[in-house]
Amino acid sequence: MRGIVALGLLAGSVVGAMGAARADDDRSRDGIPRRRVAVRPVDEAGRDRTLVVFRKALREIVNRKDAAGLVRVLAPQIVTNFGDDSSNVADFQRRWRPGNADSEVWKVLADVLEMGGVFRGATRPPTFCAPYVFGAFPREVDSFRYVAVTGSGVALRGDPWDDAPVTTSLYYDVVRPISDRRRPVRSPGVEWLKVELPTGVQGWIPASTVRSPIDYRACFRKTPAGWRISALVSGD
């Protein structure tokens, strides 16, 4: 009987080891599942009508490049970088110089405002962060190494030009950049990026079709005076 039990334990350990090996085989070199992962667009702003109104007004401020209007909707302690306790409106103005019509802040905010967003858990007061790529990116995926495709039906091509053979089509897939951006002679109007799916499939896509989860994002916080921009940062 002891021999039978021992054999059973040995068999169980072998099966367990085989299962662990298969699990390891199913994961990429970065430890995420070897399957396609998507970050689909989401916009939760409709959960709060006052946020919808605020965001519409902010879009108008951005379209007008209205520096005074933008400053009025900044939180007093707006965060513009990490590790600096002095973040405030004056720091924001020094960093972004919104009084200049060609300030980068106008493009950054325009991009952010067009890409949905999500509420951050059950925070009180409510906080909403955009774009959706930041809030909806899978936690198990390394946000420093992977980016999200922000389009549906994006062609993954074998070479970096428009008429190169299509390997597959991407639908909001998570991909890993594996080369610097290129602008080849055969496709002068497009900047291309070579990427790899978690499954190991590689190819080229227009660099404009991806966004990093740690790229610029804005967070809005609801205050007694209304919604305010509480952060405009990149990185982590």
Digit-by-digit pLDDT tens for the chain (236 residues) are 444 333 333 334 333 433 333 334 456 666 666 789 999 999 999 999 999 999 999 999 999 999 999 999 999 999 998 765 658 999 999 999 999 999 999 999 999 999 999 998 777 789 999 999 999 999 889 999 999 999 999 999 999 999 999 999 999 999 999 988 887 767 778 899 999 999 999 999 999 999 999 999 999 999 999 999 999 999 87
pLDDT at 17: 34
- Whole-number Cα distances in Å, 15 to 4, 12, 159: 16, 5, 43
Q: 121 Cβ partners below 8 Å, 6+ apart?
A: none
For residues 206 and 217, membership in a common domain is answered with no
In which element (H, E) is residue 93 found? Answer: helix 89-96
CA distance 148 to 213: 7
- Whole-number Cα distances in Å, 114 to 94, 131, 170: 25, 8, 21
pLDDT at 16: 40
Instruction: Count up the domains in the chain and report the number.
Output: 3
For residues 23 and 7, membership in a common domain is answered with yes
Contact 179, 159 (CB under 8 A): no
Instruction: Note whether residue 191 is domain-resident.
Output: yes
For residues 63 and 131, membership in a common domain is answered with yes
pLDDT at 74: 98
pLDDT at 188: 77
Q: What is the CATH number of the domain that holds 156?
A: 2.30.30.40
pLDDT at 10: 32
Put the strands of the sheet holding 202-206 in their side by side order.
166-171, 152-157, 202-206, 192-196, 174-177, 147-149, 210-211
For residues 189 and 220, membership in a common domain is answered with no
Residue-range definition of the domain harbouring residue 24: 1-30
Q: Quote the crossing angle between the two packed helices 104-113 and 49-64, to the nearest 10°.
A: 150
Instruction: Note whether residue 175 is domain-resident.
Output: yes
pLDDT at 33: 66
CA atoms within 13 A on the CB side of 153: 0
For residues 106 and 54, membership in a common domain is answered with yes
pLDDT at 187: 73
Q: 51 Cβ partners below 8 Å, 6+ apart?
A: 45, 126, 128, 220, 222, 227
Contact 167, 201 (CB under 8 A): yes
CA distance 182 to 188: 9
For residues 164 and 130, membership in a common domain is answered with no
Instruction: Note whether residue 37 is domain-resident.
Output: no
In which element (H, E) is residue 193 found? Answer: strand 192-196
